Chains A and B, each alone.
Chain A
Amino acid sequence: MAAPENPQQQAATIRHAFGNVLSFLILLLIGVLAFSIRLFSVIKYESVIHEFDPYFNYRVTQFLIKSGVYDFWNWFDDRTWYPLGRVIGGTVYPGLTLTAGTLWRIFNALNIPLTVETVCVFTAPIFSAFAAWATYLLTKEVKGVGAGLTAAALLAMVPSYISRSVAGSYDNEAVAIFALIITFYLYIKTLNTGSLFYATLNAIAYFYMVCSWGGYTFIINLIPMHVLLCIVTGRYSSRLYIAYAPLVVLGTLLAALVPVVGFNAVMTSEHFASFLVFIIIHVVALVYYIKGILTPKMFRVAVTLVVSVGLIVGFAVLAVLIALVASSPTKGWSGRSLSLLDPTYASKYIPIIASVSEHQPPTWPSYFMDLNVLAFLVPAGIIACFMPLSDASSFAVLYIVTSVYFSGVMVRLMLVLAPAACIMSGIALSEAFDVLTRSIKLQLLAATENPQINAGDATKVTPNDAVKTEKSEDSVKERSSRKSKKKEKENVEKASSVSRKEKRLLVLPLEASMIAVFLLVLLGAFYVVHCVWAAAEAYSAPSIVLTTRSNDGGLHVFDDFREAYAWLSHNTEVDDKVASWWDYGYQTTAMANRTVIVDNNTWNNTHIATVGTAMSSPEKAAWEIFNSLDVKYVLVVFGGLVGYPSDDINKFLWMVRIGGGVFPHIKEPDYLRDGQYRIDAQATPTMLNSLMYKLSYYRFVETDGRGFDRVRHTEIGKKHFKLTHFEEVFTTHHWMVRLYKLKSPKNRIRGKTKKSKSKATTTTSSKRIGARKKNPWH
């Protein structure tokens, strides 16, 4: 820096430097916040893997670390889907496991000996911090640094994201959200700069996303939609071309490298939109090019030519597309994707999809629970995005609109909505603060200062991408008053009523601004309180260990699941097969290391239906089904004693439906009394004789003498019965998991029992016959 010739410029530079350091520190703190808010589960419970799918990912990671990446691709898992097995390497999104495996290797190389489990537990919080930083970058590209920091802070603690990324929630979404945001950031960055470097990075980020989560189809549909939007609104530029064309080419090639995607990247309809837009953008590019080199008259001739040729090509492509789509069995769409477009599709046709609670549409309260105040700030953010509609902000708008739709279809996709909501709310809050604080500042400085200096707070711009951002910065300033007016109307009614008289001026009355700032801070405080509560109470339970508070405040821990799995791993042969409903498949293979028949990767409907049929059948038929599958043990989850509602009896109707979908002799009405599902004395005989009922309620009456089910709040219908083909081998402390063994066929086949006629001959012998009744072969 030269001599202080221009003190004003120097002050600006210093302020700039301060701003950068400050935002760096803020980002660091946001990272710490994102990480630490997710540690409640470890502190309140322990450092364990949560729920169902994470156990599978954990097991895959263990295998990856033990056997290396080449064996991982070739891994044929014989512990699951017996006897079909599962080719893990070809059916799993490897991003998460490869990430955690790499982290583990790095830590080990640094001589930090962590267990695989520890790395897996903390992967999600680490990537939440990354996701917050990626949000900062993305929002900065859309609306500047202030909005970026706000959005990052909001994302760091948005409950929707916390619910899927607490420590221990080792699932694909943990890294996929980061990958999603960073892909969008790099796309916007490329769009803003037109740099091929960022375009390449974008393709690599997309590749990482494809590796990580099936939700990558959201990206490969959203970006083409945005490109199409830009073209339609006349915003075509070479930057748009650079942002899009390399992504499609490189991204598709890279995606095809992931075994689970493979040729799906060019074969299924989910990807067709991107190819269609790829063609369109080339046509448009050609048109612009021809327009540039031809005179207007020549151009008109060329247009007719191109339009006619384009129509022919378009029809040809359309015909090919239709032929391709029509030739694939589900019209090219997988069941899960179809249920996105037609929310009732799954519940109508695919019970196996409908049976999963996270595939249900969300309720209104869940929006408030998962997004809290963001739900109200989003509309303001959308308006702010229109204030100057840039390429980047139109993308943000498109992102929020589509993700709102998808979240309405499937509660699981709230997760995709959360970053969009954070970005929008960040923009809204930041713009509001921008206007309000500037008003306060200007009022306080009175009219002496020139309002032109207000370059500071909200619009800190990195000098690199000067050309592009200067333009947007100017436009931001131009319209900031109108923008602020509208935003006030949305957010804080008091402020908006006051601000109405301001038309052209950039300032609001001092008092109104103060109150508005105070209210906004209050709003933010409520959000923080809610997020911390959600992280600590609602989303920290690992579901493998349950706790309950008794009336006197004592904590009661239910550790039945691990008790049962430990029993299995210690008391059964290594090759024994365990049958259970598919929910517990991943946990059984990961924790008990025993072969299961079906698991949470519900790829074979018939096999699941076989297990469902066995569970719905009477004992003998069930025994035969299980025996034909070499099953040795049957595991059922029963919550009737302690009131654990998500037990197998409550899932039983799904077993009946899924079983009946393949084996028509299982009929749902047989299990319902007048359309009602009940387990009391009114229940149908089919229900009371089904294996699931018997295994759940066997000896249950011995607990309290009358067999009162605390989940269904009724006395059970059939209390005293014996099992003939199964024997109870283990029941956990709270009866939550019950294990049964299939009895082997009887060693001898008995003749008819002696009739009492012969006993009348000698009284002594008849006494002994009476005593004999106790013998175990009866």
Chain B
Amino acid sequence: MAAPKSVAVFFAVLNLISLLPFIAFSFSPDQPTDRKILVLLDDLSLKSSHSIFFNTLQSRGFDLDFKLADDPSIAVKRYGQYLYDGLVLFSPSADRFGGSLNIEGVLDFVDSGHDLILAGDSNASDLIRNIAAECGVEFDEDTSAMVIDHAGYAVSETEGDHTLIASDEFIQSDVILGSKKLEAPVLFKGIGHSLNPENSLVLKVLSASSSAYSANPTSKLSNPPSLTGTSISLVSVVQARNNARIMISGSLGLFSNRLFRSGVQKIGSLNKYEKSGNEQFVTELSKWIFHERGHLKAVHLKHNKIGETEEPSIYRINDDLEFSVEIFEWSGTSWVPYVANDVQVQFYMMSPYVLKTLSTNQKGLYHTSFKVPDVYGVFQFKIEYQRLGYTTLSLSKQVNIHSCVSFHKFC
């Protein structure tokens, strides 16, 4: 018995060593490729029924590791290092995960900067609901409820119960959904969720139409439904404060080959599309989730007196100074210059004394110049850049401002 055990340990160690270079702490700009994603499934048949989605991920360079949700060998973390960079939970009915993974494990995974795709469904377990709730998304508490839309369902051969709805209420953001406009509505069949409007971190990406409501389709509606109209979110994303991104969908079918391929016609609409918008929607959204879009970095924060290049340790009051910073966006393969005209710098001591919009040279360099205010103190150059879909840029650099004093009359 001892020999196999030691062999196992040996392989574990070997495995660890081989993994080490690829174990990235969150989204790593230096090692963005070779990203490993753990996919947890209720049933291995999902692997084939959702193969288009998985294939697009693999074709973009992701290394998918499929496991059953109750597989006892699941481990996302070993010796304090995460083995994966992303987690896809396609296991809406799992009551518990196998191995060492539990709800805290999933949340820790997110809190250390990793990304998560979570799909609920009409039979979503408490586990899945709780993970969503921890991220600020609340699925309808009625476990049998589904989103029903008698005015926005997708036309199909059979009349059905109007739970397959076609929605085109997307979030208006090129960053999240890509620059190519989504023409066809997205087919959705699953449960709805609501968001706390005060929660600034969570965004409604696909919402239900105003005629939708959430109820049990098989039974008669006795009470008014708790979720109605556009407050129902079908697909939401969360960008946590550490820039970890989470996608929560109330439908596993959203990702399925069947809905990817099927045509769509919304009731009451004359436009009939050969192909639903699901594939484009899910692919573009997954790009955003896995930081292939909308991830900014600011580097080379520089300031100096006009006419000099050295960064001084101290400025005198009324000095003229130049400030520059370079901002880049991750394109999936490389860092490209980020171009915008709304990046501002604050010269801050308890309140901003100077607030200036930076001008850009279109190559990622943002710069401006201004006069140091006539106040001494410990100032900060501050950039607080928060735009929809982009990661938050929050930088500051401390600098001292001092007035002219004795022995330096010519300063």
Name A's B-contacting residues (CB within 8 A): 70, 73-74, 76, 78, 82-85, 87, 89-90, 259, 575, 628-629, 744-755, 757-759, 761-762, 764-765, 768-769, 772, 775-777
Contact = CB atoms under 8 A, between A and B. Distances in A.
29 contacts: A73-B406, A74-B408, A76-B400, A78-B378, A78-B398, A83-B380, A84-B349, A85-B376, A85-B377, A85-B400, A85-B402, A87-B405, A89-B406, A90-B405, A259-B405, A628-B350, A748-B134, A748-B201, A749-B196, A750-B134, A750-B135, A750-B136, A751-B134, A751-B136, A751-B195, A751-B196, A762-B95, A772-B104, A775-B103
B398 A575 contact: yes
Contact of A76 (B240, B314, B350, B380): B314
A90 B402 CA distance: 12
B137 interface: yes
Given A83-B378, A750-B136, A758-B126, 16 more contacts: A74-B408, A76-B400, A82-B378, A85-B378, A628-B350, A747-B111, A751-B133, A751-B134, A753-B133, A754-B130, A757-B141, A758-B141, A762-B95, A768-B126, A769-B130, A775-B107
Contacts of B202: 749
Interface string B112-153: 000000000000011101101111111001010000000000
Contact of A751 (B104, B137, B349, B405): B137
- Tell me which of B95, B349, B406 has the highest count of chain A C-beta atoms within 10 A of its own C-beta: B406
B379 interface: yes
Interface string B161-175: 000000000000000
B407 interface: yes
A768 B104 CA distance: 11
B333 interface: no
A83 B379 contact: yes
A749 B127 CA distance: 18
B199 A749 contact: yes
B177 interface: no
Nearest to A629: B350
A426 to B, nearest CB: 42
Contacts of B125: 765
B384 to A, nearest CB: 14
B101 to A, nearest CB: 13
B242 interface: yes
B378 A84 contact: yes
Contacts of B135: 748, 750-751
Interface of B: 95-96, 103-104, 107, 110-111, 125-127, 129-130, 132-138, 141, 143, 195-196, 199-202, 238, 240-242, 244, 314, 349-350, 376-380, 398, 400, 402-403, 405-408
Nearest to A772: B103
A744 B95 CA distance: 32
B95 A83 contact: no
Nearest to B398: A575
Contacts of A85: 376-378, 400, 402
Nearest to A259: B406
A630 to B, nearest CB: 8
Nearest to A262: B406
Given A750-B136, A754-B130, A769-B126, A76 B141 contact: no
Interface of chain A: mostly helix, strand, loop or mixed: loop
Contacts of A73: 405-407
Contacts of A87: 376, 402-403, 405
Contact of B96 (A78, A259, A761, A768): A768
A765 B130 CA distance: 11
A517 B244 CA distance: 90
A761 B107 CA distance: 24
A85 B379 CA distance: 10
A372 to B, nearest CB: 45
Nearest to B405: A74
Contacts of B95: 762, 764-765
Given A765-B125, A777-B107, A772 B130 contact: yes
Nearest to B246: A748
A90 B238 CA distance: 52
A762 B95 CA distance: 10
Contacts of B403: 87
Contacts of A761: 126, 143
Contacts of B201: 748-749
Query: Which 10 interchain pairs have the tightest Cβ spacing?
Result: A76-B402, A83-B378, A751-B138, A751-B133, A765-B126, A749-B199, A78-B378, A747-B240, A83-B349, A747-B111
Given A748-B135, A749-B196, A78 B129 contact: no
B310 to A, nearest CB: 18
Contacts of B408: 74
Nearest to B238: A748
Contact of A775 (B104, B136, B195, B242): B104
Contacts of B134: 748, 750-751, 777
Nearest to B127: A765
A757 B133 CA distance: 15
A762 B407 CA distance: 80
Contacts of A74: 402, 405-408
B242 A747 contact: yes
A759 B241 CA distance: 30
A758 B398 CA distance: 51
Nearest to B135: A748
A89 B405 contact: yes
Contacts of A744: 241
B40 to A, nearest CB: 17
A352 to B, nearest CB: 20
Given A83-B350, A628-B350, A768-B96, A748 B376 contact: no
Contacts of B407: 70, 73-74
A747 B114 CA distance: 12
A747 B241 contact: yes
A747 B244 CA distance: 9
A764 B110 CA distance: 26
A768 B131 CA distance: 13
B406 to A, nearest CB: 5
- Tell me which of A78, A764, A777 has the highest count of chain B C-beta atoms within 10 A of its own C-beta: A78
B198 to A, nearest CB: 8
A12 B141 CA distance: 114
Contacts of B244: 747
B296 to A, nearest CB: 19
B398 to A, nearest CB: 7
B69 to A, nearest CB: 14
A776 B406 CA distance: 55
Contacts of A83: 349-350, 377-380
A775 B125 CA distance: 19
Contacts of A765: 95, 125-127
Contacts of A759: 126
A264 to B, nearest CB: 15
Nearest to A765: B126
B129 A754 contact: yes
A742 to B, nearest CB: 15
A552 B133 CA distance: 61
Contacts of B132: 751
- Tell me which of B137, B202, B314, B350 has the highest count of chain A C-beta atoms within 10 A of its own C-beta: B350
A82 B350 CA distance: 10
B317 to A, nearest CB: 11
Contacts of B141: 754-755, 757-758
A746 B241 contact: yes
A762 B123 CA distance: 13
A221 B337 CA distance: 70
A765 B96 CA distance: 9
B127 A745 contact: no
